[in-house]
Amino acid sequence: MWTAIVTLFLAGLFLTALFCALRAAQTARTPQGAVGWVVFLLAVPWAGVPLYLFLGHHRFHGYRVARRESERVVASIKAFGESARPDPETLTINPRPFEELAHLPVSRGNGADLLIDGEATFHAIFEALDAAEHYILLQFYIVRDDELGQELQDRLIAAARRGVHVRFMTDAVGSYSLPDSYYETMRNAGIDTADPRDQRGPNFRFQLNYRNHRKTVVVDGRVGFVGGHNVGVEYLGQDPKFGPWRDTHVRVHGPIALQLQLIFAEDWHWARSEDLLDLLHWEIEPSEEDMNALIVATGPGDSSETGAMMFFAAIAEARERVWIASPYFVPDLDIMSALKHAAMRGVDVRILVPDVIDHRTPWLAAFAYFDEIRDCGVRVFRYTDGFMHQKVFVVDDTLAGVGTTNLDNRSFRLNFEAMALFFDTRAATAVEAMLLDDFAASNELTRKLQQQSLYIRYGAPLARLFSPIL
C-alpha cells in the first residue's frame, strides 16, 4: 500500500514539475531564466516545484490599477500636462519613452528639493506632516518600531488628533518585524492602516516574491516625497554595523505631487479595496521653479518590463554622460548591452555601488558583471564612507532621476517602484554635485574578477545564477 502511495506521489510530483517547466518555458523573462527553471524543475522536482510556486511567477495578476478606473482624474492630469507642455527648447532629451512607460505626461510647473541624507529627509517629512491640514498618505517598504519609527508614529497620531485623515501602509516582507501593537496604537488613534497581514494579494496567491518597494509620502496633494529612505535608525546612520548611511530622497511640488498621489491611490486600492479618488484633492498648483518632471511608477502589474525599459531609455538618450548610483548591480542582458554600447559611443558611463555588504548574494553577484562592462569603458566606483543605498541617475545635463528603483532584476521585474524624473538642468546639476562628492568618497574598481579574493572569485559566478530572482 505504501509503495503505491509513494509511487502516486512521485508521479504527481513529476507531472506537476513537468507542467511548471512548460509554464516556465512560456513565461520566463529571459531564455536563461527559462532554461534554469526547466532544468531545476525536472532535475530536482521536490525542491523546484515549491520554489517555482513562490518565485516563478512572471506577472502580478489581479492588481487593479486605479488610474485605469478613473478617467476623470487621469484626464485632468493629462489635460494639464497637455496645456503645460514643456518648452521644446528646454528638452534635449526625448520624453516620449518615459511618458509611455508612466501613462502620464511630462509637464512643467514642478519644483524639487534634493534631500541628501536621513537627517534632511526626515526633518523635511516631519515638517510636512506637522503642517498637514487635510490628509496624509504614507507608505514605506520598511518601518521599524525603533526611535525613528516611534517618532513617525507620534507625528501621525498628533496629525490625526487635530483632524487630519492619515492613511498608513507598509510591505508585508519589508516590515515583517513590525509588531501588531504598532498598527493597533495607530488604529486606536483613528489612523487608517493597510496592515499587510490582513490584506489580500501575495499572502494568499503564492506571490511572496513580489514586494511593494515604494516609499511615498503625500501631504494634502501639494507636497510629496519619494526616494531611498525607509523608517529605521540605520537610515540616520545609527547602526554600528553599517556606520554612516548614504541615501537620497526628493521633496516634490506641483503636478508630479499629484502623480505620486495617484500611485499611492493605486496601491491603497489594491490593499484595502477602497477608492480614494473622490476623497483626495486633485487641484493642480504649479511651482514657481517650473521644472519639467514626471513620476514613472513600475512593477509586475504592468504589461511590459517597465522598470528595465526606463533605465534602457535613459541610457540610450545619453550623449555625454550617464551616472548611476545603486546599492545593487544585477542587471539584465538589455541593460548590460545598453551600458556597454553607451561607453563604446564615448559616453562617460559610471556605476556607483557600495563597498559595504547588506545583502550578500547581490553584492557578490555584481562582481560577475563588472569585468564585462569595464572592458567596454564603463567605470565602476565602490562607495567606502559607510553604506550607500541611494537610487539616483543623471543623464547629460538635462535628466535626473531619484526614487526607489535599484539597478537589478528584482527592481526591474518583481518590485513595485517609483522614480521621479526631472528634465531640467537645475536638477541635473544638483544631482551631479551630489554624485561628485560620492565619487570622491569612493574607490574606483581596477582589479578584474580573477584578481579578487577566492571568496569573490568563486562566489560571484554562483551568486549570478540567482540573478533572475534576486
- The end-to-end CA distance of the chain, in Å, is 43
Is 396 one of the catalytic residues?
A: yes
Instruction: Determine which one of 117, 171, 195, 220 is catalytic.
Output: 220
Is 213 one of the catalytic residues?
A: yes
Is 215 one of the catalytic residues?
A: yes
Instruction: Determine which one of 391, 408, 424, 438 is catalytic.
Output: 391
Instruction: Determine which one of 171, 195, 215, 438 is catalytic.
Output: 215
Is 391 one of the catalytic residues?
A: yes
Is 281 one of the catalytic residues?
A: no
Is 275 one of the catalytic residues?
A: no
Q: Is the Cβ–Cβ distance between 210 and 300 less than 8 Å?
A: yes
Instruction: Determine which one of 195, 247, 332, 396 is catalytic.
Output: 396
Instruction: Determine which one of 229, 332, 389, 424 is catalytic.
Output: 389
Instruction: Determine which one of 171, 195, 213, 249 is catalytic.
Output: 213
List active site positions: 213, 215, 220, 389, 391, 396
